[in-house]
Structure formats: structure tokens, C-alpha cells
């Protein structure tokens, strides 16, 4: 019998992501508000009824703007991970600003849970060249922002060198455990309609079709590896819409019936370390 682990993860951006993009008019703000006002209570209820502990990556901005909702998430026993303070992607800020984001975000998390985060997920999944060093410096155990694998965690590298016209140079593997993600397993691009001056992202796909893809991803993992971790990424203001919740709850039921072992990311990272990198 294999062991097929599933991490349900929620990036609780609320309004921070819109503000970080400069979209501060009442429309985008209200879109973010749907998360704490409607999505979070629905998700906490679903997770409670299924007895699932999950991981919530929460920006400091959300913790300080919606302290009550964040407290409810933590008190329900879910892991609180780091997701920046302002929700600016690391690749868009200086090294010093990136460090400040990590420190300030951890202060907010410590005020919520009494301890700093074990895990990090970068806003918009865009680490900088400094991120791995800074995450190690700040005591993180795992990251969940990269796409170099699917079911098997790996060790994040530092000091890669990309130069046009030369072969890529891979840096050293570090002790930071990478729990890989994918845009295909993220609710945001599938569902959110976003119109800016530069682009239109259509989103608004069938929730049933997306959940079928997500189930197939699990079934493929179960079929092909003895041990693996599958990570789904959701946002309360995205998955929290009624018809999506309906389809998501059906997925949770099917995953359970197929033998999925639901875990927080920190527990999954600990199991990965023991199994794959015992000397770390």
C-alpha cells in the first residue's frame, strides 16, 4: 500500500494582493473582502466537518487587517505559513526589503500563534535570487513556491547562474525543503476574471472540470509513486464561491474515498525530511 499525502493550502490574501498591485478602488477591495467575510467561514466549516488540518499562508497585512478571522483559522488548528507582509513578490523588491518582509511577516504570525512560521510561500510564486538564503537565515524549514517537481519534495538551490549564451549553472542544494506547486493546481488562474490596461485573464472555468483535473492528478500520483505529496493551492475569495465550494467538497469526498492522507505542509515536510533527506 502506498502513502498518498494531500496538502490543502489556502493563500489568505484578502485585499493585500490588490493593494500590492495598486488596485485600491472599491471594486477590487470588495473582491478581496469576500475572502474574510464569506470564504473563510465556509472553508473552516468544511475542513471541520471533514476533520482536515490544512495550511494557510497569510500575509502580515491580512493578519493585521482581519485579526479575528485569522485567529479563527489558527484556533481551528490549521498551520499558519508566511506569505510576505505586503504581498509584493520577492523578485520585485530589493534584498533588504525582502528581508524586512520576512521579519515583519513573522512578527505578525508570532502575534497570532506565539511562534514564527516554519514554511514560506512567495506572493505570486516569484522568488528572487536572494530568497533561499534569506529563508534559511530566518529559520524557515520549507518553501512552497517552485515548480521543479510534482509529488516528490526536493532541496532548494542557492547561487544558480543564468547567463544568456552560456549553459545554465546549477548552484548548491540547501537544507530548505521545497514542496512543489503548480499553476494548474491553483484555483486563481482557472477561476478569476482579471482585466487590467495591459491584459485580460479570462478565468471563470467550470469548477467541476477543474476539480476533475485535480482528482486525476491525485489518481496519477497514487498509481505511479509509492509515497508522494500533492499540494492544492486555493484562495478564500476564489474557492469560496458557492458552486466552487460544492465542487471542492465533492473532490474532498473523492480524495478521502481514494485513501488520501491529509496533512499540514509542516507535517508533510517533516515526513519528507525523514524519508528523503534523513541526514539534513
Minimum CB separation from Zn ion for residue 16, in Å? Answer: 8
For 26-51, b/e burial (b = at least 16 CB within 10 A) is: eebeebbbbbbbbbbebbbebbeeee
Contact flag: residue 98 with Zn ion (CB under 5 A) = no
Minimum CB separation from Zn ion for residue 12, in Å? Answer: 8
Minimum CB separation from Zn ion for residue 121, in Å? Answer: 7
Minimum CB separation from Zn ion for residue 218, in Å? Answer: 23
Count residues contacting Zn ion (CB under 5 A)?
Answer: 3
Minimum CB separation from Zn ion for residue 224, in Å? Answer: 30
Phi, psi of 225 (to 5 degrees): -130, 145
Smaller CB separation from Zn ion, 20 or 268: 20
Helix, strand, or coil (residue 214)? helix
Q: Which of residues 113-142 bind Zn ion (CB under 5 A)?
A: 123
- CA 235 centroid distance within chain: 9
Q: Which of 7, 10, 13, 143 touches Zn ion by CB under 5 A?
A: 13
Instruction: Using the rule CB under 5 A, give the single segment among 9-17, 18-26, 144-152, 244-252 that binds Zn ion.
Output: 9-17
Q: Which of 5, 11, 34, 61 touches Zn ion by CB under 5 A?
A: 11
Q: Rounded to the nearest 5 degrees, what angle is found at the Cα of 235, between the Cα atoms of 109 and 175? A: 55
Owner of C-alpha cell 528572487: 128
Instruction: Using the rule CB under 5 A, give the single segment among 5-13, 26-34, 148-156, 208-216 that binds Zn ion.
Output: 5-13
Phi, psi of 139 (to 5 degrees): 85, 20
Between β-strands 172-178 and 3-11, what pairing exists: parallel, antiparallel or unpaired? unpaired
- CA 257 centroid distance within chain: 24
Minimum CB separation from Zn ion for residue 101, in Å? Answer: 13
Between β-strands 261-262 and 3-11, what pairing exists: parallel, antiparallel or unpaired? parallel
Calpha distance 240→236 (Å, rounded)? 5
Q: Give the residues lining the site for Zn ion (CB under 5 A).
A: 11, 13, 123
Amino acid at each position: 500500500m502506498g502513502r498518498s499525502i494531500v496538502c490543502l493550502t489556502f493563500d489568505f490574501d484578502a485585499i493585500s494582493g490588490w493593494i500590492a498591485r495598486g488596485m485600491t478602488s472599491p471594486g477590487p477591495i470588495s473582491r478581496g473582502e469576500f475572502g474574510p467575510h464569506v470564504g473563510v467561514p465556509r472553508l473552516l466549516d468544511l475542513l471541520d466537518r471533514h476533520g482536515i488540518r490544512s495550511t494557510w499562508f497569510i500575509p502580515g497585512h491580512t493578519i493585521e487587517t482581519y485579526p479575528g478571522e485569522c485567529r479563527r483559522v489558527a484556533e481551528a488548528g490549521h498551520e499558519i505559513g508566511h506569505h510576505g507582509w505586503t504581498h509584493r513578490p520577492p523578485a520585485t523588491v530589493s534584498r533588504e526589503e525582502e528581508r524586512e518582509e520576512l521579519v515583519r511577516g513573522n512578527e505578525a504570525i508570532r502575534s497570532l500563534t506565539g511562534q514564527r512560521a516554519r514554511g514560506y510561500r512567495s506572493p505570486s510564486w516569484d522568488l528572487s535570487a536572494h530568497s533561499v538564503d534569506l529563508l534559511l537565515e530566518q529559520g524557515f524549514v520549507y518553501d512552497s513556491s517552485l515548480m521543479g517537481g510534482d509529488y516528490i519534495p526536493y532541496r532548494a538551490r542557492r547561487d544558480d547562474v543564468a547567463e544568456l549564451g552560456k549553459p545554465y549553472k546549477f548552484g548548491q542544494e540547501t537544507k530548505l525543503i521545497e514542496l512543489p506547486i503548480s499553476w494548474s493546481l491553483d484555483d486563481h488562474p482557472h477561476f478569476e476574471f482579471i482585466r487590467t490596461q495591459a491584459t485580460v485573464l479570462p478565468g471563470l472555468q467550470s469548477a467541476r472540470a477543474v476539480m476533475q483535473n485535480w482528482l486525476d492528478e491525485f489518481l496519477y500520483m497514487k498509481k505511479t509513486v509509492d509515497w508522494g505529496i500533492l499540494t492544492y493551492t486555493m484562495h478564500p475569495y476564489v474557492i469560496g464561491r458557492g458552486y466552487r465550494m460544492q465542487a471542492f467538497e465533492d473532490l474532498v469526498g473523492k480524495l478521502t474515498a481514494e485513501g488520501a492522507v491529509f496533512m499540514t505542509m509542516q507535517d508533510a515536510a517533516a515526513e519528507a525530511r525523514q524519508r528523503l533527506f534523513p541526514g539534513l
